[in-house]
Structure 1
């Protein structure tokens, strides 16, 4: 089995961060979210992987390289416009050949990994296998209706009246039967070739489409709130380790990771917290559930439930919570403005003002 990872989306819900960086490279506990997917694919025994990239393709190529660090052999495929998941399968036709493959969205985080799903797909010879999860609002997702055997009867994309609460979460396994399906469908109303339409085509042609359901934590880190929630989940499983310098005037509580080259002075860190290499934290309170990347400067501030990207600087912030602060961004106190008076005074009035 091969893997096809989609990392070419525009990331509109994460602007302005995605104007300058790929959303798949935004960090979760100081590691790009894409790397969690690559590690899960390698752990499932897949080695041949293609990554579909868009306008941030150069940055993704530089971060991932040839894939050897993950135990993978990575091929890159350029998708100039986000024309849909099924279009990415068309684009990857030569790479995929007649092999079975895993289709995976590169901004996904799936806590349980992919090994079980891949093993079941390899032994079950259906035309496709979908991973589903129950969600409170199915109207925001592709939704699957299953028969009494657990196979897929029907798929709908963001339906007004969902037939179930089982949402597609961006993990699919396909056999070569998908190739005629993606060639047979037409663009949807939003101008994309929808993978849900291709899978429905398979069903309409009498092909079996299997499904399995998970209730383990899953997020598509496509918004700030989702990214912060995944950061919380990952930090919850972290162990503490101090490799950097922590002075005797500092206090570390719970699971705290301080990378080699980081410095903590006169501060209180309440885990789970991770501090990246080259970062300096002075006279501050950090945590819980906070990830501070490399080469940041934090001084006289309190930060909790937040993610700071490389090179961010925060000074004199009394309290920052549930925040995402970008690369090289600077947060500091506003200058104190002179006091002002607003007056509505009737005729012949007398008013005395203090300075």
Structure 2
């Protein structure tokens, strides 16, 4: 079995972060969200992964490389424009060949991994299998409808009046039959080839399309709030590890990871939190559910419930929370600043508070 991992798209809901960065590489606990998916595929026994890339191809290729760091063999497939999930399958036809495959959206986060799901598909081998989960706002997703016996009967993309609360997750499993489906469907009014249209084509022809309801944690990390929520969840599982330098004037409470090369002086750290390699924290308070990326500088500042990406500096800010900072950001105070701030700041930004 192969995997097709989608890393295209514009990530409009995560702007301004995604003006300069791939949404799949925004970190959760200092590790890009994409890496969690690649590791889950490896753990499920997948070895060959096709990565569909678009405008951020260079950044994704640089981060993932040839896949060997994950125990995978990675092939890159260029998609000239984000023309739908079924279009990605269409252009990957030569790579996928006649193998069964997992279609995985690279910005999705599935806590329980993929091993059970993939093992079940290999055992039962339907023509397609969808993963479903109940959500509060099904109109924002593809939605599945089941009959009284739990059989999949219909799918619809972002319906105005959803017929169920079962969202289609960003993980699909297919046999080669799906290639006939994606060749046969027409683009939607936006010009995209939707995978739900291909699945509907398969259902209408009586092929065996099944579903599996997932009750574990899943998140489409398309919004800042989703990224912060996933960050909190992953940090909950941390075990304390102090590889960097911490002075005697620093107080540490709870589960804290300080990576090698980091320096913490005269500060208070309340976990769960992580301080990345080479970061410097001085005279500051780092509160729960905070990820400080590699090479960051945090000085005379209070930070909690936030993600600060690599090489960013937060200097003299009295209180920052529920924030997502991109790479190479610099935040400094000005006179009369408020007591609390919330930021969503893109890469290479400069912010002066006033």
Give TM class, smaller chain: over 0.9
- Runs of 4+ displaced beyond 6 Å: none
Question: Who is 1:47 aligned against?
Answer: 47
Question: Who is 2:141 aligned against?
Answer: 141
Determine if the alignment matches structure 1 residue 76 to structure 2 residue 71: no
SS at match of 1:260: coil
What is the Cα deviation at residue 336 of structure 1?
A: 5.6
Deviations 1:263-288 (A, max 9, x none): 00000000001000111101100010
What is the Cα deviation at residue 125 of structure 1?
A: 2.3
What is the Cα deviation at residue 215 of structure 1?
A: 1.6
Question: Who is 1:110 aligned against?
Answer: 110
Question: Separation in 1 of the partners of 2:123 and 2:147?
Answer: 21
Question: Separation in 1 of the partners of 2:149 and 2:113?
Answer: 25
The answer to whether the 8 Å contact 1:150/1:210 transfers is no
Question: Separation in 2 of the partners of 1:325 and 1:137?
Answer: 27
Question: Separation in 1 of the partners of 2:148 and 2:126?
Answer: 16
Unaligned 5+ segments in structure 1 are 338-355
Q: 1:249 to 1:207 in 2, by over 3 A?
A: same
Question: Who is 1:187 aligned against?
Answer: 187
Determine if the alignment matches structure 1 residue 334 to structure 2 residue 330: no
Deviations 1:117-167 (A, max 9, x none): 000111112110000000011111110011234321000111122111100
SS at match of 1:51: strand
The answer to whether the 8 Å contact 1:293/1:311 transfers is yes
Determine if the alignment matches structure 1 residue 20 to structure 2 residue 20: yes
Normalising by structure 2, we get a TM-score of 0.94
Question: Who is 1:209 aligned against?
Answer: 209
Question: Separation in 2 of the partners of 1:335 and 1:283?
Answer: 20
Determine if the alignment matches structure 1 residue 67 to structure 2 residue 42: no
Question: Who is 1:174 aligned against?
Answer: 174
SS at match of 2:171: strand
Question: Separation in 2 of the partners of 1:189 and 1:223?
Answer: 25
Question: Who is 1:351 aligned against?
Answer: none
Unaligned 5+ segments in structure 2 are 338-354
C-alpha RMSD of matched pairs (Å):
1.0
SS at match of 1:226: helix
Determine if the alignment matches structure 1 residue 268 to structure 2 residue 278: no
Determine if the alignment matches structure 1 residue 94 to structure 2 residue 99: no
The answer to whether the 8 Å contact 1:256/1:272 transfers is yes
Question: Who is 2:341 aligned against?
Answer: none
Aligned length: 337
SS at match of 1:46: coil
Question: Who is 2:248 aligned against?
Answer: 248
Question: Who is 2:314 aligned against?
Answer: 314
SS at match of 1:231: helix
SS at match of 1:45: coil
Question: Separation in 2 of the partners of 1:243 and 1:150?
Answer: 50
Question: Separation in 2 of the partners of 1:12 and 1:306?
Answer: 20
What is the Cα deviation at residue 36 of structure 1?
A: 0.3
Question: Separation in 2 of the partners of 1:259 and 1:239?
Answer: 12
The answer to whether the 8 Å contact 1:143/1:166 transfers is yes
SS at match of 1:52: strand
Question: Separation in 1 of the partners of 2:291 and 2:260?
Answer: 15
Deviations 1:195-244 (A, max 9, x none): 00000000001111100101211111111100000000110111110000
SS at match of 2:150: coil
Q: 1:336 to 1:136 in 2, by over 3 A?
A: closer
Question: Separation in 1 of the partners of 2:152 and 2:2?
Answer: 23
Question: Who is 2:127 aligned against?
Answer: 127
Question: Who is 1:198 aligned against?
Answer: 198
The answer to whether the 8 Å contact 1:142/1:167 transfers is yes
